[in-house]
Amino acid sequence: FIDPDFSSTNTRGTNDIHLDLINNNLSPSNGESISKIHMKAQNSINAVVDYARILTSIKDKAALTTAGRFQIDVRGTSSNGLFSVLQAYGDGNTEVRSLGDTGNVVLRTVSGNSVSFFSGTNLDLSTANNSTSLVIYNSAGTAVKTIYGTTG
């Protein structure tokens, strides 16, 4: 049983707690893993299951264009293992994904905030199974518009 406690007694707020995970490879490559944090627990038959993980890696190692990747994976209800649900890249791209082929991606805001697609943004509703749609809700949570996507 390990229960680490990271705390700071500094009352001035100038010394926050740091946990540095450093890949000290002298010849790193693009795509190389930096760190992985796995969240595991026993299931109903006492098998240890990987329920979620956080991964970081090198997107671009070049000194002038250095960029990273941050990824969150979550176990789906099927036996297919972990699925990537979020990937954020240091080049400005972010991907939010559903779990496997059957999940939904829901973008929610709180208290009147909005989800914005800026000028030049492509909203791609195509999927392999022709079943993607974009549903727009009003502030009361009622669906007011559905836009169906097609492959192609």
Which pTM was predicted? 0.63
Distance CA 106, CA 117 (A): 15
Residue 59 and residue 90 in contact, taking contact as beta carbons nearer than 8 Å: yes
Buried b (16+ CB within 10 A) or exposed e, 45-63: eeeeeeeebebbbbbbbee
- Average model confidence (pLDDT) for the chain? 75
- Residue 7 structure tokens: 């705390």
Handedness of CA 10, 11, 15, 20 (dihedral sign): positive
Q: How far apart are CA 67 and CA 63, in angstroms?
A: 9
pLDDT tens figures, 57-83:
999 999 998 999 999 988 877 666 787
CA 4 to chain CA centroid, nearest Å:
25
Higher pLDDT, 72 or 13: 72
23 Cβ neighbours under 8 A, 6+ residues apart: 32, 33, 34, 35, 58
Among residues of the chain, what percentage have pLDDT more than 90?
24
The tokens for 150 are 């097609």
Residue type, 139: S
What would the pLDDT profile of 95-107 be if each residue is shown by its tens digit?
Answer: 776 655 555 666 6
Query: What pLDDT is recorded for position 110?
Result: 55
Q: pLDDT value at position 151?
A: 43
